Amino acid sequence: MQQNEMNTLSEVLENLKNRSCDVEFLWNENSLVAGGKNYEPQSLQIIKTYRFEGDSNPDDSAILYVLKTNDGVIGYSLDSYGANLNYDEAYNNFIRQIPISGHNEQLKFEL
């Protein structure tokens, strides 16, 4: 999985917003939800992954997954890690099941 570096999480979120790709996918115990619709791993694709690590506090670490659905929605899921986990192991297992897009799709989505 290719990981891209940008300065800050807020910079990546702003870039997503500018591209109208700022739909937030929220975890609901067994699927990701966006726009009132539940999505299973097979209906999603990971386009990009961004990792952020806190400079002064390792607990301020996060991973942002840019996701694309089979019905064309592009958005993100944000997961904190370290001591302050956002989600449980079920979320991590769910994310592992989502296919990662090929290199060509990733290149089309440069921020």
What is the pLDDT, as a whole number, of residue 2? 47
pTM of the prediction?
A: 0.80
The side-by-side arrangement of strands in the sheet containing 61-69 is: 3-4, 44-52, 61-69, 74-81, 23-24
What is the pLDDT, as a whole number, of residue 89? 83
What digits encode the pLDDT tens for the residues 25-37?
999 989 999 999 9
Higher-pLDDT residue of 59, 63? 63
Highest mean pLDDT among 47-51, 61-65, 72-76, 77-81: 72-76
